[in-house]
Amino acid sequence: MITVTINGKDIKLEKPVTILEAARTAGIEIPTLCYHESLELYGGCRLCLVEVEKMPKLQTACTLYVTDGMVVRTESEQIADARRGILEFLLINHPLDCPYCDKAGECDLQDLVEKYGPTAGRFAEGKRKHPESFDDPIIVRNMERCVMCTRCVRMCDGVQGDSAIAVTNRGSHSFIEPFSGGRYNCEYCGNCLTVCPVGAIMSRLHRHSYRAWLVETEVNTVCSYCGVGCSMVIQVRNNSINRVVPRFGLGINNGLLCVRGRFGYDYVGNEQRIKSPLVKKGGKLEPVTWNEAFNTVADRLKALRERYGGSALAGIASGRCTNEENYVFQKLMRCGLGTNNIDSSARLGYSGAQRYLENIFGQGVTANPIYGIANSEAILIVGGDPTAINPILGLQIRTASRNGARVITIGYAPGLERFNSIGLKPRIFTEGILLSGILCEILKIKPFTGENQTLESVIKGLSLRPAREIAEICRLAEDDIRKAAEAICNVSSISIVIGQDIIQRSNGNRNLFMLSSIGYMLNARMTLLSERPNEQGTIDMGCLPDMLPGGRPLEIETFRKRYEGLAGTEIPSGPGLTLMEMVEAAEAGQIKAMYIMGENPVFNLPDSNAVKKALGSLEFLVVQDIFLSETAKIADVVLPALAWSEKEGTYTNLERRMQHVRRAVDIQGMEDWRIISEIGKRLEVSMPYNSSEDIMAEMVRVSPLHTGLTYEDVDKGNALWPYKGEPLRAEMPSLSLSDENIIADKGKLYLMVRRPLFHSGTLSRRSYALNNICSEPYLRISRAVAERLSVKDGDVLKVSTVKGSLQVKTKVDISLNDSAVLLTNNFEGMGAFSLLGYKLDPVTKAPGIEGTEVTIEKGKPR
């Protein structure tokens, strides 16, 4: 026990901390500029000088660790003089432009000068000039205001791991600049903005649009982009969003955000938002009243159900809508329309994979805290770049790497290239074979435990190839495969992070089996990357063709009866169709009508031209969205919903944590749940809801996973898996396993989907900020391909597959496999899915999009 006396107050400490931390535990504030609790210590600003007895000089409180019996004073005349002196130094070259600096009112320098002085300047020379830099579309740098605390640099280097900015020059000529010069070439996380204590690095998005003290309300909410579910504060004035900021100490992201979360919120204010319900009249969508729209939808659906039966109707729920909305949606489909044809885009990877893993390990196997990844000793990453798909989760991996964890990446993960200890890039589409090779090596080291006999017998029944053979197939060094296996074998805390690329295979279940086996042998934690904020919610709320809310299988009668009893209606007992099956059934004329909430299948599903044709042939299509998406354009009725910042509800993130999404601004319009319940009422479904909380109250009675859960619990952070409820303990069903599938790649190129950091699709392309950061898609090609075609960055290429062709600019990507070319699926008319065919995985029912050959040739400049 250490006792330290600060300002006459005795403070007892378990372990030595700095004077600054000790003072803060006792509520004593010591002024700082360069210190930040999330960053490496620096000791540069010298504002935290304090008096320590028996030490002749003033000491910096942020760097000096307390010792037993130390006596410290944090305020005295000498200290005030010293701080005033330091502040005077900071001000001599400062432009003193507070009247038009956006930081005024929340500027640490301003506050400190107000407290300590000086009140007048003595600096008679000309100030250092450094013109404000507007070279970047988002971030504006004013190096005259900079106090050289280097928080931004330490954030970029030590936390974000992007190393994009640095101090340039020396001494009083120092300034902060991106390595790329004026414009940033970085991940645009904007975390440098958060930590800048002055107005030196600021966002242009809200430049001169507000003063800190004019923010009217601050709303704590959760980001709307990906499955991590970062906490953020929306600052509102005049019923519009001024900006979105993270808070240190709040949420799983603890003060950090990624580019989408920080800058991408502005889509909600886009003028392309649908303002009124639309009904197709004479081949054209015409604005109508809400009542007319509701009646049209209810009447048509009712008539189609009567004519064709419930099995001819289908609904697509949304990982972008709240739990409450998804709950109401499945209720409408099941109870109002008598169909189990309910699915969501989680089917593209997340839900099928989760089900597969849960069949082996039990429900909730992927419910692992994100922070656990940072504490892992080894991490295996397969099938995606977490730093792009779930950026804040990706940072956990970078942190683990800095802490000495072994990070092993398989496949394309450029954001981790500086952080992995082993980066395996197997030949295209052979990740699963590589995994079997790693499993084979692990089996040599680790014994079976007998815990899961069924799984073990399947593993024993595999005919696994030796590493030498695997190395040959995957075109890797045999030694690397062995090293990778050893690296994850010899530690006790292991995380496996699984991305969609490996699930979207026609034999994706085989890949998942290999990962499960590795996970089983090593007792690893599994995490599935998730592209949408509430994919987990669609699953938990029963937006699945074979599952009721709470993860209860429809086919088990007792669960079905319970559901029917609570709903007061009978529902069909057989499972419905999955997402891609619905589309196929629509094409075959078996599905006659579809209700799509918050999803854009015409763009977001593989073979999207065929999807468009299939949905176009429906007798009736309802689309509920905030934008007139590709799908909404071909709908019979379009219902304008509210965006994430305009409604209340909950999201469940990929670690199965429920979080509260709060209304920040009011606009005229209707929440998805309100729209559905209006239609539900017309279809005689009981939907007596006045608020999202009413839905929650009903849902927790229906879902055994959420028994008795309230918004209060959610707000307290008590809504972690299994959300106060009971998971289902079921026997593991027998495992069927697809065969290996080696695709000959001699000299051929294959198109794959790139999942980028800067865009998500329908929403992000309506964000002014994200479009400025990244305004168009690029076809990513390897250096070898670029050389073969003699093309360079920016050249326009014509990309063709059997499904179609398009012209797109190219970018050489040194991380890329020589047989792969990558295209994103984010930009209108330029989506990779329009060029890709698919074949369903028989187990997960995810579309396998591998093996689409592509030809590229020089196109004509656009």
> Which residues in this chain contact another protein in the complex, by CB under 8 A?
41-47, 49, 57-58, 63, 82, 85-86, 88-90, 92-93, 122-125, 147-148, 166-167, 169-174
Rank residues 89 and 448 by Cβ distance to another protein and give the closer one. 89
Rank residues 119 and 169 by Cβ distance to another protein and give the closer one. 169
The least distance separating another protein from the CB of residue 109, rounded to whole angstroms, comes to 11
Rank residues 109 and 328 by Cβ distance to another protein and give the closer one. 109
Q: Dihedral angle at the C-alpha atoms of 433, 438, 440, 446, nearest 10 degrees?
A: -160
Burial class (CB in 10 A: 0-12, 13-18, 19+), 854: buried
Q: What angle do CA 271, 272, 274 make, to 5 degrees?
A: 110
Rank residues 19 and 577 by Cβ distance to another protein and give the closer one. 19
CA 710, 711, 712, 717 torsion-angle sign: positive
The least distance separating another protein from the CB of residue 72, rounded to whole angstroms, comes to 17
Rank residues 63 and 691 by Cβ distance to another protein and give the closer one. 63
Rank residues 174 and 800 by Cβ distance to another protein and give the closer one. 174
CA 618, 619, 624, 630 torsion-angle sign: positive
Residue 347: name the closest of 320, 318, 325, 322 by CA.
Answer: 318
The least distance separating another protein from the CB of residue 176, rounded to whole angstroms, comes to 11
The least distance separating another protein from the CB of residue 166, rounded to whole angstroms, comes to 7
Rank residues 45 and 621 by Cβ distance to another protein and give the closer one. 45
Q: Give start and end residues of each alpha helix (H) in 117-206.
A: 151-154, 191-195
Q: What are phi and psi of 649, to 5 degrees?
A: 160, -165
d(CA 611, CA 580): 9
Rank residues 171 and 461 by Cβ distance to another protein and give the closer one. 171
Quick one: tokens of 576?
């419905």
d(CA 104, CA 2): 40
Pairing of strands 278-281, 217-222: unpaired
Rank residues 153 and 278 by Cβ distance to another protein and give the closer one. 153
- Locate tokens 């450094």: which residue? 130
The 10 Å CB-count burial string (b at 16+, else e) for 71-104 is: ebebeeeebeebbbebbbebbebbbeebeebbbe
The least distance separating another protein from the CB of residue 746, rounded to whole angstroms, comes to 43
Query: For residues 467 and 484, is the Cβ–Cβ distance under 8 A?
Result: no
d(CA 690, CA 673): 10
The least distance separating another protein from the CB of residue 234, rounded to whole angstroms, comes to 35
The least distance separating another protein from the CB of residue 150, rounded to whole angstroms, comes to 8
Residue 431: name the closest of 488, 483, 474 by CA.
Answer: 474
Tell me the CB-side half-sphere exposure of residue 490, using CA atoms within 13 A. Answer: 8
What is the rounded end-to-end Cα distance, in angstroms, of the chain?
Answer: 71
The least distance separating another protein from the CB of residue 85, rounded to whole angstroms, comes to 3
d(CA 630, CA 662): 28
Rank residues 6 and 45 by Cβ distance to another protein and give the closer one. 45
Residue 619: name the closest of 278, 295, 301 by CA.
Answer: 301
Quick one: tokens of 758?
């800067």
Neighbours of 215 (CB within 10 A): 17
Give residue 764's identity as a one-letter amino acid code.
S
Rank residues 124 and 744 by Cβ distance to another protein and give the closer one. 124
Rank residues 11 and 176 by Cβ distance to another protein and give the closer one. 176
Q: Give start and end residues of each alpha helix (H) in 446-534.
A: 453-461, 467-474, 478-489, 508-522
Rank residues 92 and 697 by Cβ distance to another protein and give the closer one. 92
The least distance separating another protein from the CB of residue 169, rounded to whole angstroms, comes to 8
Rank residues 59 and 710 by Cβ distance to another protein and give the closer one. 59
Instruction: Supply the DSSP string of 711-727, one letter for each residue.
Output: HHHHHHT--BTTTTS--
Q: What secondary structure, in 3-state letters, does 205-270 show?
A: CCCCCCCHHHCCEEEEEECCCCCCCCEEEEEEECCEEEEEECCCCCCCCCCCCCHHHHHHHHHHHC
Quick one: tokens of 153?
């640099």
d(CA 148, CA 158): 17
Rank residues 123 and 371 by Cβ distance to another protein and give the closer one. 123
Residue 147: name the closest of 93, 188, 186 by CA.
Answer: 93
The least distance separating another protein from the CB of residue 113, rounded to whole angstroms, comes to 13
Instruction: Supply the DSSP string of 16-73, one letter for each residue.
Output: --BHHHHHHHTT-----SS--TTS-----S-TTEEEETT-SS-EETTTPBP-TT-EEE
The least distance separating another protein from the CB of residue 42, rounded to whole angstroms, comes to 8
The least distance separating another protein from the CB of residue 45, rounded to whole angstroms, comes to 6
The least distance separating another protein from the CB of residue 108, rounded to whole angstroms, comes to 13
The least distance separating another protein from the CB of residue 87, rounded to whole angstroms, comes to 9
**Sheet of 406-410, strand order:** 422-424, 406-410, 378-382, 494-498, 525-528
Query: For residues 22 and 13, is the Cβ–Cβ distance under 8 A?
Result: yes
Rank residues 48 and 512 by Cβ distance to another protein and give the closer one. 48
Give residue 275's identity as a one-letter amino acid code.
K
Contacts of 596 (CB under 8 A, 6+ apart): 315, 316, 621, 622, 623, 624, 625, 631, 635
Rank residues 147 and 594 by Cβ distance to another protein and give the closer one. 147
The least distance separating another protein from the CB of residue 61, rounded to whole angstroms, comes to 13
The least distance separating another protein from the CB of residue 36, rounded to whole angstroms, comes to 15
